Amino acid sequence: MSSPPATTASHDGTAKSSSLPPRRTGKPQHINGPLYRQANSNVVLIRRPKRKNEGPMKQLARWFVDNQIGLSFNLLALLFLAHGMPRARDYTAKYFTLSYYNPSTGKYGLGWADGHFILFCVVVLTGLRAATMENILAPLAKSQGMSKRKDITRFSEQAWMVLYYSVFWPLGLYVYRQSPAYLDLRELWTGWPDREVTALVKGYFLAQLAFWLQQLIVINIEERRKDHWQMFTHHVITSSLMYAAYRYGHTRVGNLILVLMDVSDLALGLAKCLKYLGHQTMCDIMFGVFMFSWLIARHVLYLCVCYSVWAHTPEIMPTGCFKSAQGSLTGPLEPPTDKGLRYLLEPLWDSEGLFCYNDSVKWAFLAMLLFLQVLTLIWFTMIIRVAIKVLNGSSAEDVRSDDEAGEDDDEDEFVYEEAQPLEQEVGVEEIDLKHWERRTGIKRQTSVTTGVSLPGHSDRKELLGRIGCEKQVE
């Protein structure tokens, strides 16, 4: 809406012209809803988010959320602009190409340069997620009748997860299908030690690791949910397991675990999107699919993988330590006695250092896998509660994750403040009465003696009230 300009008379014969501040565009308009409302015929209120005891980190997080698209775009534009300079290409190419190619084997090694590619994927996923939510998914939600800011945001988040898993779950399934370990748990451990992987496996694994690292950022800068710390712990363990599996050469089992995890997340995202779109019956059906896939993938097949770690690795994998790159690999060697257990962490930063298999390594991986299973069991108990509600005739509602605040506090998140005019010195002759005539449809009556006269006292007061001079002119 537009508001008429206002002026106030000053003592020196000039008038002060003021106008309401322009519409703020710092927050995404289509998700947060209108930032303005008309209180009455003369007052405009501006809606501002509440800010209670926000520290510098909270303000920084809010700024990052508001500027994800621009920040990601600028970083990528800067990278490709630098790549156009021949002297910089050896450095910039590491960000969007896979490093450590071995032409003799046609595979890729691993090292610190992989971090450049991971960082590039984090930036791309951040910008792509924000742009897709703001420009595609949020408008889609509005077109389907959603009006509450919270519902639009939740739908956009879940729809983005559906899009992501719709790409990476089939891709992970294809990688698993091409693996020697397809439908054979014992083959998960053959061929080790191996410090090289194919381009497809490397790109898939690093992109998935980037996604989970980006998720760690997202849950800490956006509104917190009830299960924030469970989700945070889950993401930390998942990211740590993926990184350790990659550095230790266990990409086969890492790929299988990702496939088992992603299928239920895809079904959950679909169920939530159907709920927000109002298709409750389809939501309940998809929730049943999600529950079944969760039970089979995460509590049956996943435990089969854990059993394979415990039972098959001592039979198949050579015990001892190996050293150097793939072409000059030496071992098995005896574990060092002067480093305690620190040598078990050496592969995490040294791509040509010692990497070993023994009982300590086996139980370290198994403990992390089982701890992840404990978290999923906690969530599964919540899922069962939802299933009981559905069987009793209620609708499927996900109780795992929501705001720490209630569902009905959409308006409570904002305060309304009266818009303050911005004053500017102008001459009296600059007051445009013709513009006022066009807006009100009232004609000016001219007089030879006075030059300007107003038709009626009430109209005179209305005009003087609009320009802020009613008290100064009688």
pLDDT, position 324: 83
pLDDT, position 323: 87
Residue located via tokens 């506090």: 409
Cite the beta strand spans of 324-396 per DSSP E.
Answer: 330-333, 355-357
What letters, b where the CB count within 10 A reaches 16 and e where it falls short, cover 380-395?
Answer: beebeebeeebeeeee
Q: What CA–CA distance (Å, rounded) separates 384 from 422?
A: 58
pLDDT, position 148: 87
Q: Are 347 and 353 in contact (CB under 8 A)?
A: yes
Q: What CA–CA distance (Å, rounded) separates 465 from 462?
A: 5
Q: Are 286 and 294 in contact (CB under 8 A)?
A: no
Q: What CA–CA distance (Å, rounded) separates 196 from 456?
A: 91
What single letter denotes the amino acid at residue 323?
Answer: K
Q: What CA–CA distance (Å, rounded) separates 282 from 310?
A: 41
pLDDT, position 32: 42
Q: Which segments in the chain show pLDDT lower than 50?
A: 1-35, 399-412, 446-458, 460-474
Q: What CA–CA distance (Å, rounded) separates 156 from 279?
A: 16
Q: Could you give phi then psi for residue 22, rounded to 5 degrees?
A: -65, 160
On the 0-12 / 13-18 / 19+ scale of CB atoms within 10 A, 365 is buried
All structural domains of the chain with their residue ranges: 65-319+358-405
CA atoms in the 13 A half-sphere facing the CB of 300:
7
DSSP symbol at 335: P
Cβ neighbours of residue 6 closer than 8 Å, sequence gap 6 or more = 17, 18, 19, 421, 466, 467, 468
Q: What CA–CA distance (Å, rounded) separates 257 from 254?
A: 5
pLDDT, position 396: 56
Q: Could you give phi then psi for residue 239, rounded to 5 degrees?
A: -65, -40
